[in-house]
Amino acid sequence: MSEITLKGSLAKTAAIQLALVSPQQKNEALRSIANALIDNFEKILSANQLDINDAQANGISGTLLDRLRLDIGRIEDMAQGLIQISELSDPIGELVQTIDRPNGLHIRQIRVPLGVIGIIYEARPNVTVDAAGLCLKTGNAVILRGGKEALHTNKTLVEIINQALLDINFVPNTIQLIENPDRQIANEMMKANEYLDVLIPRGGAGLIQAVVENATVPVIETGVGNCHVYVEKSADQDMALAILVNAKVSRPSVCNAAESLLVDREIAREFLPKAYEALSLLKVELRGCDETIKILPAIQHAELEDWGREYLDLILSVKVVSGIDEAIQHIRTYGTKHSEAIVTKDETFAQRFLNEIDAAAVYVNASTRFTDGFEFGFGAEIGISTQKLHARGPMGLKELTSTKYIIRGNGQVR
């Protein structure tokens, strides 16, 4: 019996019980885990150090090493995140709609857990705790498959979580970790339709692509964002500059960061030098179209592939456009339907942009960086969906649920 088969069938049993657990019990479990993480911080840090040592021995450095590394502050953040989740209202059992039929059938649609959720992710061990908490809150059993770089840390975290759940007699096997680091087991997980109701990949474009291509389990695609800021000719240019800088620089490594600037020809000579000055100070490299280069001769030429790239870095592609039609056309061609912004004072253009741009989040006069479950006020986020089925944009608790129809009659037949 493979690890997937074993843990999958344990998760299915857990899911049946979890669907019936009260909000109070689930919130107690979340608090219990939060306390246990704090109480066991030294154990977590020791395990994490093993992963860090292995990573360094394997020549891993920079961002990846930083993502892997825990400290007491990060452990406190994880615990605090669980407390926050415990304070959110419970979506399970929520009445979605009531339909009373002429034949006397009384139909209610209510919110229920998805069942068993699989999460495949990469190096960041905080995803382990975060995803576990969100799944538990929504009454779902979860099977976690983290990156092999974080295996010591993840094993310790899940041990601590499970001890905390055992201490309060919570449903066993609610949270399980796949410990076999083979790539093969991830592939098996992607096809485990018998056990998993949904699979959520969290990580880079490569991981997400692999899951989308190989999974037979329904997938919620998260992530890739080639986001644009379009500065329309009527824009308040100070506002445009502030939005552009924020969208590019405030956190370049995330999916809602801007990767490309479009600017109307009419204001390009005025706006581009200001943008260049501000962004250069912040170490952003610009890559421009021919017209941009004429205005900013010091910057690099953008190659064709630049327009489609999610740099996740301090790089910005820049294109001069003739107006909103070209801007919309460019975004349609190269965008990833994540987050797109226009800066304008013209209500007609604002409305056209909102209507005609097909993306999870479309902004008028605000930074693309707001596409986020917390910024939207959901109080939690499991990821940002860039597909159109089930969930689109930031996914909070509700997006980790399904519904069922409950129908009461008094002998109706058809």
The footprint of a second copy (CB under 8 A) covers 16, 19-20, 99, 101, 105, 107, 109, 112, 114-115, 193, 197-198, 212-213, 216, 218-221, 236, 239, 242-243, 245-247, 250, 332, 350, 354-356, 358-367, 369-371, 375-377, 387-390, 392-393, 402-414
Q: Is 107 helix (H, G, I), strand (E, B) or coil?
A: strand
- Residue 183 C-beta: closest distance to a second copy, Å: 19
Cβ neighbours for 213, distance < 8 A, ≥ 6 positions apart: none
- Residue 260 C-beta: closest distance to a second copy, Å: 18
| Pairing mode of beta strands 95-100, 106-113 | antiparallel
Residue 230 Cα distances to 56, 234, 240, 256, 346, angstroms: 42, 11, 9, 15, 13
- Residue 80 C-beta: closest distance to a second copy, Å: 20
- Residue environment code for 211-227, b if the CB has 16+ CB neighbours within 10 A, otherwise e: beeebebebbbbbbbbb
Residue 50 or 364 having the CB closest to a second copy? 364
Contact between residue 396 and residue 89 where contact means Cβ atoms under 8 Å apart: no
- Residue 149 C-beta: closest distance to a second copy, Å: 27
Q: Which amino acid is at 4?
A: I
Q: Which amino acid is at 208?
A: I
Residue 213 or 305 having the CB closest to a second copy? 213
E strand segments, 39-165: 95-100, 106-113, 116-121, 141-145
Q: Is 175 helix (H, G, I), strand (E, B) or coil?
A: strand
- Residue 370 C-beta: closest distance to a second copy, Å: 6
Residue 209, number of CB atoms within 10 A of its CB? 13
Q: What is the DSSP letter of 303?
A: P
Contact between residue 349 and residue 362 where contact means Cβ atoms under 8 Å apart: no
- Residue 399 C-beta: closest distance to a second copy, Å: 10
Q: How far apart are CA 132 and CA 161, in angstroms?
A: 9
- Residue 153 C-beta: closest distance to a second copy, Å: 29
Q: How far apart are CA 111 and CA 140, in angstroms?
A: 12
Q: How far apart are CA 197 and CA 407, in angstroms?
A: 23
Residues β-bridged to residue 118 = 143, 199
- Residue 277 C-beta: closest distance to a second copy, Å: 18
The DSSP result for 293-321, as a single string, is HHH-TTSEEPPGGGGG----SSEEEEEEE
Closest by CA to 344, choosing from 248, 267, 291, is 267
- Residue 409 C-beta: closest distance to a second copy, Å: 3
Record the tokens describing residue 371, joined without a space. 């596409």
- Residue 192 C-beta: closest distance to a second copy, Å: 13
Contact between residue 119 and residue 177 where contact means Cβ atoms under 8 Å apart: no
Contact between residue 289 and residue 281 where contact means Cβ atoms under 8 Å apart: no
- Residue 359 C-beta: closest distance to a second copy, Å: 7
Residue 133 or 393 having the CB closest to a second copy? 393
Residue 200 or 296 having the CB closest to a second copy? 200
Q: Please provide the distance, in angstroms rounded to a whole number, between the alpha carbons at the two ends of the chain.
A: 46
Residue 101 or 294 having the CB closest to a second copy? 101
